[in-house]
Chain A
Amino acid sequence: MNKALIIAKRELKSYFVSPVAYVIIGLFLLISGFMYYSILFSSRVAEIRGFLMNMCFVFMLMAPILSMRLLSEEKKLGTLEFLFTSPITVMDIVLGKYLGVILLYLITTAFFLQYPLYLVLFARPDLGPILTSVLGFVLNGAACLAIGLFASSLSENQLISAVVGMITLIFFWIIGWVGDLLPGGAGNFLASLSLIKPLENLSKGLIIASDLFYYAALIFFFLFITVKRLEWKRW
C-alpha cells in the first residue's frame, strides 16, 4: 500500500508536467460553467440535479482521455518493465496508478464544488440532495476512471485506449435503456449495470446501500481485471 502511494504521487506530479491535466480540467470547467449558467437561469430552481447528470455525462466522455496514458504510456516507453522489476506487486502498480488519477479527479471536484457553493450563498437550497450529488459526482468519476484504467492496460497506443474506454463507458451509460426493451430477468440484470440509475438516486438525495455497492463492485471488478491483464501479459 505504501508503494502504491509512491506511484500515485509520481503519477499525479507527471499529470501537471504535461499540458493534459490543465487542458482537461480547464475544458471541463469551461463546459460546466456554461452548463451551470444556462440550466440554472432557464429553470430558476436552486438545485443541481439536472446539472449533475449533464456534468457526469461530460466527465464520462473525458475520463478516458485522463486515464489513457496511465498504463499505455508505460508500456510504450518500456517503463512498465522498470515497475515490474522493482520490488513491488502488480497490485501496488494498479492501485498506485488508480489513486494517482483519482487524486487528480478530486482536484477537479474541488473546483466543481464552487457551483453548489453559489447556491448556498445566494439561495436556500435543500442541502441533502446537494451533498449526495457531490458524492455521486465523485463516485461516478471514480467508476469511469477505473474503466479507463482497464482500457489503458489493453494497448500501448493511447488513442486506442481512450476509444475503448469511451465505448465501454457509453455502453455502461446506455445499458439501462435495454431494461425497458427487454422484459424479465435479463432486462433487469442489464439495467442494473447502468451508471445512470445510482446517479439519479444520489442526485435526488437518496443514499441506497445497493447503489454504493454497485460503485464499489464496478471499481473493484475493473481494477481486478486490470491486475489480471497485466499479470497475464507476462506468461
Chain B
Amino acid sequence: MVLLLAATKTRPVFWHFVPWLKVVWYLLAVASVAVFVYGVLRPIAKYRRGHGGPWPPCPWRELPGRLSTGARLLFSHATIDRRDRTAGWAHRAIFYGFIVLFAGTVILGFDTDFTEPVFGWSYFHGEFYLAYKEILNLLGTALVAGVLVMMARRAIARPAKLDYSRPDRAPGDPQYDRRVYRVGDWWFVTALLVIALTGFVLEGVRIAMDHPGYAGTQFGGWIVAQALGGASHATLAGLRHGLWWFHGLLAITFVASIPYTKAAHMLSSFASLSLRDPLAGKRLPSIRPDRAAEPAGYGALGDFSPLHLLQLDACTKCGKCHEACPANATGRPLSPRDVILELREQANHASAGIGGLLGGLLDGSAGGAGFTASVVGPNGVRAETVWSCMQCNACVEICPVGIEQAPIINQLRRRLVEEGELDSNLQSTLEVIHKSGNSFGENRRKRGRWTKELDFEVTDARKQPVDVLWFVGDYASFDPRSQRVTRSLARLFRAAGVDFGILYDAERNSGNDVRRVGEEGLFESLAEQNIAALRDCQFKRIVTSDPHSLNTLRNEYPDLGGSWAVMHHTALLLELIEAGRLEVADRLSYRVTYHDPCHLGRFQGEYDAPRSILERLGCTLIEMPRNRDNSFCCGAGGGRIWIADTPGQERPSENRIREAVGLPEVELFVVSCPKDVTMYEDAIKTSGNAEQIALRELTELVEEALVPSAALHPA
C-alpha cells in the first residue's frame, strides 16, 4: 500500500477512516457551507433595505464589465499596493497563497467527491499530483510569510493608520478605542497562520510515515518530517489523525466564518471595488425624480443606497483613508474610516435576526426600527464630524476597495441641510449665494468689474460669439488678490490672440462647493442658471480659472443637460505655450514647489500641465512629500471656506505651508486655484512664514516670463 501510493504519487484523502467518520466529516462540511451561504445572504438582505439607490446596484448587463475591472484590480493588487508597498506585498502573498490553497482543496474535492464517485475517474495522482503539491507548498509558504509580515506590522511596526482609536470620540469614551477590532484582526491572521501551519505539519507527519521518497519543494513538510524522524508509528498515526481533524475542522470553521469576520472582505471588498461609481466624489448623484418629494440625503440607514450599505461592509480598516484625510491630519473629529465603521456597526445592529433576513430577501422592505433611526447624533456619526469633511476626495481616491466615503458624507450633509443642522456662518453664506448668486454677497452686476483695470475690453460672450468662454468663478472675480491673477490671465489670453469672452452678470457661483456642502437644491438652481446662460452663448469650449468650477462643469453639468468641452486655464496656457502663441523665456530661476489643487489633481487627474509649464519657465520644482494624488487639501473644500475654524487648531493650509518651508531653499509656493490663493496667502502670514516663502499663482509666473515682457506692462 505504501509502495503503491509512492509509485502512483498520490495520497489518500481519508486515511484509515471508518465510514461513520466520513459521514460526520461530510455533515460538518455541508453545515459549514450552509453557515457560509447564510452569512452571505444575510448582508444581501440588509443591502436590499437601502432604498436610496437602485437594486441591484448596477444593471445586470454592466455586471460582466464591472466584475472584470474589479478582478483586474484585485489580481494586480494595484489599489492595495499604493503608499504601502510592504502591506501590498504581504497581502499579495496571503491573497495568492489563500486562493491557491483554497483552489487546491476544491480541485481535490472535485476529484474525491465528484469525478471519482460519479465517473470512476480520478486525476489526483502522477504528474498532476506532483505539480499540485509543488504549487501548494510554494504558495502555502508565501501565505505564512505574508501573515507573519501582517502580524509584525500589528505587533511591532504599529503604523498610525492601524490605530483604531476614533478621532471623533474623546479618550475614555466607551466608543473611543475599538479593542474588538484588534481582537478580530488577530483572530483572522492567527487562524490563517494556524491553518497553513497545521497543513505543513500534517504533510510532515505523512512524509515521516509514508516515506514517499521524493521531496521536491515540499520543504515545509519535509522539515517537519525530519523533526518527527524518531517518532514511533503509533505516535505518528495518532498525530496524523488528530492533525487531520484539527486542520480540517479549522478549515471548515474558517470557511463558515468568512462572512462573519474580517474575512468577509474577500467578498464585500471585491463587490465594492467592482460596483463602485467610477466618478465617485467627482460627480455627486442627483436626486432621483421618484424620490424628489422625500427628504434628501441619508438620515437613516433605509435612505442609503444598497451599494453604500455594501461598501460599509467592504472596509478592511486598512487606514489608508484615515492617513490621507486632511481633517484627521489636523486634529478635526473626523476619520473617513470611522464614519464607515460607525455606520457599519449601526447597520449590523439594525439587521440582526432571521426575520429581517427573510423579509429583506423577499421584498427588501422589512426595515426594522434600526433602519429608520437617525444615523447622525451624539452616539452615532456626530454632526461636527460630518461638517469637518473638506470633500477633497483623498479618501475615495486612496481606498483600495472602492468605498465612497466622501459621497456618503455628502449624503449625510444633504439631510442635515434639509433639517437645518448647519453652521450659522455656512447658513448665511448659502443664503447670500441664493440671493446674490455669489458667495461674496456682491451685486451680480459687479462680477465683471475686475476688467475695468485692464487697458482693453473683455468681450461679453452673451453679445458675440467667441472661441473660448471663460467661466471665471467667484473668487477669481471678486477676491482682490485673485483679481490680480485674473487680470494677468486676461492679458496672457490677449497676448496669445485667444478669442475669449466672459458671461459678466449672467455668471453664477458654479455650485460645486454648494453641492459638496449638501445644499442640493441650491446647486440645481445655480447650475440651471449657468447652463441657461451658457446655452445662450456661442463658443467652442469653456476654460475655468477655478478647478472647482472645472469639476462641476465637466462632470456634473452634463447630468443637468449642459455638456461642453471644459478645461482648466493651466491646460490652456500650456497649449498656447506649446503652440508658440505665448512665447516664454526659460529665464525664471526660482526654486519653487507646486501644490496640486484637489479639484485639479485628484478630481481631474491633471498633474502634468502645471509642472510642464513650470519647467518651461525655467523654474526648479522641488516636490513636497505629499504631492500629486496625495496632495493635501488647503482646507477650503466642501464649503469649509465658509465655516469658521475652531480657534487654536492648526489649519490644513498652515500644515501645508509647514511642509513647504521644510523643503530646502524653496522661494515660491505655486498654486493654480483661486481658493488656494486666498487660503495660502493667509496661511503664510498666520504661520509666520512670510519671510521664508511667497505665493504665486502659476499664471503670474507665466506672465513674468513672457517675451516680450513690455507688451503686457505698458509704461
**Chains A and B bind each other:** no
Residues of chain B touching chain A, judged by Cβ–Cβ distance below 8 Å, are none
